[in-house]
Structure 1
Amino acid sequence: MTPERFASVQAYNDAYPGCQIPTEPVVRHSLRGYHAAMRGVADDVAGTETTLTIDFLPGGAPAPEQRDRIGNVVASRWGDGPVLVLAEQVSLRTAWKAITDRWPTRLSEVQAALADTPADVPPRPPLLR
């Protein structure tokens, strides 16, 4: 499956206002993401072999002590465009676990890991007022 592609971070953020990539570098680089031990994930899907980072939006992949969130999994050139949407409205914890259990180094392997995850989305917690 070819992921949806946005030419820039701004184009992605406009399309997904609830799952934005932070535009401030300090905030962006503080997100918990996957980057294959700082080497990056090779883009073998588009054939560019560019190195990419995998981000879990909004807010990065949840740490073990944090509550799970529903969001998008995207690949980008270290927070710059283009942005490839790999999964939408998924459990970010489940997506993180699926990817880190396999430790992929190629984008097609990341896609395979996400494709093998359960499609059901955990219920959202009730809003507190």
Structure 2
Amino acid sequence: MTPQLFDSVDAYNAGHPASPFPADRHTRHVLRGYRAALQGVTDDLTGTGSGASLTVDFLPGGAPLPHEADRVGTVVASRWGEGPVLVLAENVSLRAAWRAVTDAWPTHLSGVHTALDALVGAEA
């Protein structure tokens, strides 16, 4: 999947009402997401040259904990829950996406994208 970029959380939410980022910033910041050992994932994918530190979120609701039911949703990267928002995978098992990303343990966004592409290819 080619990542799709939204300028803001509101723009993302308008385009993905079934897998929204929570409106409240505090709630967004406590979602169970991937942060590469709290260092953030380096943006080497968007072509902006920013090298920004990003977090990968699993929406809706964050990556499911082991005792929680799986959900189908969207995987995004953002600047710690703020815009812009980059959609990396849609309509995927959030548990499988979490496992694919954490098994790969990428430090760069391209590595996250590769891990998710393998997952999406396996489900096709």
* Equivalent residue, structure 1, for 2:18: 18
- The alignment of Structure 1 onto Structure 2 pairs a total of residues equal to 120
Q: Identify the residue that residue 119 of structure 1 maps to in structure 2.
A: 123
Letter in 1 for 2:73: G
Q: Percent identity?
A: 58
User: Runs (4+) of structure 1 moved beyond 2 Å?
Assistant: none
In 1, Cα distance between the equivalents of 2:80 and 2:103?
22
Q: Deviations over 1:17-62 (max 9, x none)?
A: 1100112122112210000011000000123200100000000000
Counterparts of 1:1-129 in structure 2, within 5 Å, are 2-46=2-46, 47-117=49-119, 118-120=122-124
Q: Deviation of residue 2 (structure 1)?
A: 4.1
Larger Rg, first or second structure (1 or 2)? 1
Secondary structure at 2:67's aligned position in 1? coil
- Equivalent position SS for 2:116: helix
SS at match of 1:112: helix
State the superposition RMSD in angstroms: 1.1
Structure 2 gaps, min length 5: none
TM-score by length of 1: 0.89
Whole-angstrom CA distance in 2 between matches of 1:86 and 1:28 = 18
1:55-104 per-residue CA deviation (whole Å, 9 max, x = no partner) reads 00000000000000000000000011100000000000000000000110
TM-score (norm. length: structure 2)? 0.93
CA distance in 2, matches of 1:64, 1:2: 29
| Structure 1 unpaired stretches of 5+ | 121-129
Cα distance in structure 1, aligned partners of 2:25 and 2:85: 16
Secondary structure of 1:84 counterpart: strand
